[in-house]
Chains A and B, each alone.
Chain A
Amino acid sequence: METPDSIQLEAVKRSKGLEWLMTVDHKRLGVMYICSGLFFFVVAGIMASLIRIQLAVPQNDFLPPDTFNRMFTMHGTSMVFLVGMPIIAGMANFLVPLMVGTRDMALPRLNAFGFWIFLFGGCLLYYSYIGGPGLYGAGSAPDVGWFAYAPLTSKAFSRGHTVDYWALSLILTGIGSLATAANIIVTVFCLRCKGMTMFRLPLFVWMMLVTAFLMVLALPPLSAAQIMLLLDRFLGAGFFDTQEGGSAVIWQHFFWIFGHPEVYILIMPGFAVASEVIPVFSRKPIFGYPVMVAASIMITFISLGVWAHHMFTVGMTSVANVFFATSTLLIAIPTGIKIFNWLGTMWGGKIRFATPMLFCMGFLFQFLASGLTGVMLAIVPFDWQLSDSYFVVAHFHYVLVGGLLFTIFAAIYYWYPKVTGRMLSEKIGKMHFWIFVLGFNMTFGVQHILGILGMPRRIYTYDTDRGWDLWNMISSIGVIFQGIAILLFIYNILSSLRKGKEAGPDPWDAWTLEWATSSPPPSYNFAKLPEVKSRRPLWDEKHPDDPDWRHE
């Protein structure tokens, strides 16, 4: 019999590759986003390893200085824009429509456009390696750091096209992110299934929504600044070029008006994952749902007013310094509330330590640590010592790796069965977790000490007599463990694709709508659009005696 289903199956068989290239299905785009993010993660990780090899011993000449500078610039730029952002976009793309019970994103074509322009931007950034003195001389890849401070980026100090590649490719990936953000906002506002009020949205969706707003507010200032930079470089406009009378400090304001919210764009999806995984594996609803929503919104607002805490050493007045210290410290309150609410969720539960939960536990401790080092950096005078030292490198890796990357791993272990229909190996997953925890804390934990001993960041070499040797060596050895863990992870992903245990629609006994459809979901998601009465529709179904809606 020719059902619509089998017709579609035929089409897929005929031209699988082409189907992927031309798809506007949110799930496929989500998977493509995540896979490209993981690809760039490996590339940027290799560059990080090269950096750490160079720094393992004093006065190493493994990398020449300019190559080293390109490595940390491309590492930082890639990790933020080509790893963090697309993986977040991918998760949102795959999950938001399923979680709100609809068939696709609101603007599927824009969605596809966003992905392809992101990928093009990423390739453009890496194309820079091939220009200039060629591959061996590490090409003319950008070498000005991921925040590309003026006037180092002006024509006078950065000849060739390194900075142009940096600016152009990020303008493009920025357009991609805006497309995703617009899509999330419209989808959440307009396409929720019947009964899904705003206060029944899964917290994951809430936080992605808030993140999307943050993207819309924060990305345009970056693109504007980059366009101004290109005008400087090609037409001599002189916005940031101090030799033309421009201002170097204005660049920093522009950059961090984008850059600080960006940090929250990266970490809020981490919160989103934790807010789904922790309840399911504690077997309890999230503690204080309305407060969690309020805290997310508060973080969004406050995070728009803290940017100059990246500039305490630039020489602002003491009034401005204290103002930004205050706003920064205030953000600790909603963030703290979140940590306490996850704790409250675990309290009195029956915690199952499957791999996704393990990664969320790692996240909780490491994010707590990074939050507290963040408080230290907000104390203006303390920051005068710590900023631009290895302490800062440690701090933001605890946020980005200890926070974001750990929850990304949690998310992949948690939703892989939904995406592929098969489970990842729990045994390899647990090895991955423990080896990675060890390696990560080894690499970045000791960097706090290096900062306290006065080691500046972004130096390619150092002398033996500064007391830094041992700590740098430990830090580099940690990378070996991280590398092994990542190899296990990749092996797990690839081998489980074929050999993994069949998952079934709801392997974790979870409660949100994505688990109400088959794994992987059909292209139309739900045969019949669902209807919900509470925040945990599947709980209601499984416990008709004590449904959730009685408690809301």
Chain B
Amino acid sequence: MVLFSAVAMRAEEEIHNIQNIFEPTSTPAEGILEIAWVVLTICAGIFVVVAGLMVYAIIRFRAKKDDDGSEPAQVYGSNQIEMAWTVIPLLIVLVLVFVTARKTITIQNMPFPEGTLEVNIIGHQWWWEVEYPQYGFITANEIHIPVSEGDIKRPTIINLESADVIHSFWVPKLGGKRDVVPNYPNQIWYEPDETGIYLGNCAEFCGTQHANMQIRVVVQTPEDFEAWLKNQQTPPREDASVATGRRMFESLACISCHAIGEKGANNGFGPDLTHLMSRQTIGAGVADTNYDDIHQWLKDPDSLKPGCYMPDMKLTDDQLKHLTEYLLTLH
């Protein structure tokens, strides 16, 4: 029974695979779309008018087949016309500057009430460390946040830091991106209005596995979110049937890079594995949390994510089996 409810902790929300910025589901992303429409309309209008004039000129003023070879009237310029095409663009630019300033300032300087949910994210080559400072636990690659319901807004502030190089945090449907820079803390915020799983990716080139530095944001109802929080705060259950695997994990070098509960390294070199099975992927999106994938990952991480910093531990078949079975109990 305990096991059953723990399995259910894995998010079952619908996955929004396609991250179209024209279908936002969170306040800042919606604000961005608003201004995007203004700009797109203006630019499309300019394109149609100017390209139209060009096409007209090309068709209308092409040299005819039976042209007599005489030169057309030599026109050197016109002050009125030049004035017009300086002043009109200037007015358009002023409009754009005004709307940009307003939207930038509202999104960037948004005030938040005391006690707003905060998530600390630390970018690593090539995975994300995720900390919930108000609740005192650490997880990885998968971020859970609550959804707003009607007038009850539930914003989340995301604090961004990097452990090594510059990364960029981008989940298109929830909001724009913000760089994750070492020694230079940044912030971004979400206020989602639809539950679901949103995908994103590191957007700043950060080395070999930049492509596989994926993000999953799970937007949940407050009840599901609470349940998830509670589970994450619970120490891992010790399952007697996998005691061998647990001992191997602690005696082999795994423990020097990963933590499980109180045990192990909290140096943040590798992702925290305490509730590994509550997450959907390993390796920041390269494979799933099932027996085969985890087994393959332990056997040869490079085969799934070439160049990643988890070493090949040269494990025997027996060790692989026990370790995999142990990890599969970490709900």
Contact = CB atoms under 8 A, between A and B. Distances in A.
Do A and B come together as binding partners?
A: yes
Interface of A: 64-66, 69, 144-145, 149-152, 156-157, 242-243, 245, 247-249, 282-285, 287-291, 313-315, 318, 321-322, 325-326, 329-330, 332-333, 336-337, 339-341, 343-344, 346-353, 361, 364-365, 368-369, 372-373, 375-376, 378-389, 452-454, 456-463, 465-467, 543, 546, 548, 551
Interface string B156-174: 0000000011101010110
Given A344-B81, A385-B32, A459-B210, A350 B166 contact: no
A285 B36 CA distance: 39
B40 A152 contact: no
A378 B96 CA distance: 10
A247 B205 contact: no
Given A248-B181, A385-B172, A454-B21, A466 B199 contact: yes
A291 B20 CA distance: 42
A379 B100 contact: yes
Given A64-B306, A249-B184, A381-B103, A456 B203 contact: yes
Given A291-B77, A291-B82, A453-B20, A346 B47 contact: no
B206 A381 contact: no
B57 to A, nearest CB: 5
Contacts of A373: 43
Contact of B108 (A321, A333, A382, A548): A321
Contacts of B71: 283, 350, 543
B307 to A, nearest CB: 6
A126 to B, nearest CB: 21
A9 B306 CA distance: 61
Given A322-B101, A350-B67, A152 B205 contact: yes
A329 B93 contact: yes
Interface string B185-215: 0110000000000011111111111111000
A152 B77 contact: no
B205 A284 contact: no
A367 B62 CA distance: 21
Interface string B173-186: 10111110111101
A321 B96 CA distance: 14
Given A313-B177, A348-B72, A157 B207 contact: yes
A413 to B, nearest CB: 18
B61 interface: yes
Contacts of A336: 85, 89
| Among A289, A326, A369, A454: residue with most chain B CB under 10 A | A454
A149 B176 CA distance: 21
Interface stretch (B3-11, B48-56, B242-250, B292-300): B48-56
A546 B71 CA distance: 11
Contact of B93 (A330, A339, A369): A330
Contacts of A145: 205
B63 interface: yes
B15 to A, nearest CB: 8
A151 B182 contact: yes
A301 B330 CA distance: 61
Nearest to A339: B50
Given A315-B178, A336-B89, A325 B97 contact: yes
A152 B224 CA distance: 39
21 contacts: A65-B307, A149-B204, A151-B166, A243-B182, A247-B184, A248-B183, A288-B82, A315-B178, A315-B179, A325-B100, A333-B86, A333-B93, A337-B89, A347-B61, A349-B61, A372-B47, A378-B100, A382-B39, A384-B32, A458-B210, A462-B211
B19 interface: yes
A439 B115 CA distance: 54
A130 B165 CA distance: 27
Contact of A382 (B17, B32, B81, B109): B32
B18 interface: yes
Contacts of B20: 452-454, 467
Given A248-B166, A287-B77, A453-B20, A387 B177 contact: yes
Interface in B62-89: 62-64, 67, 71-78, 81-82, 85-86, 89
A460 B211 contact: yes
Contact of A375 (B67, B90, B96, B172): B96
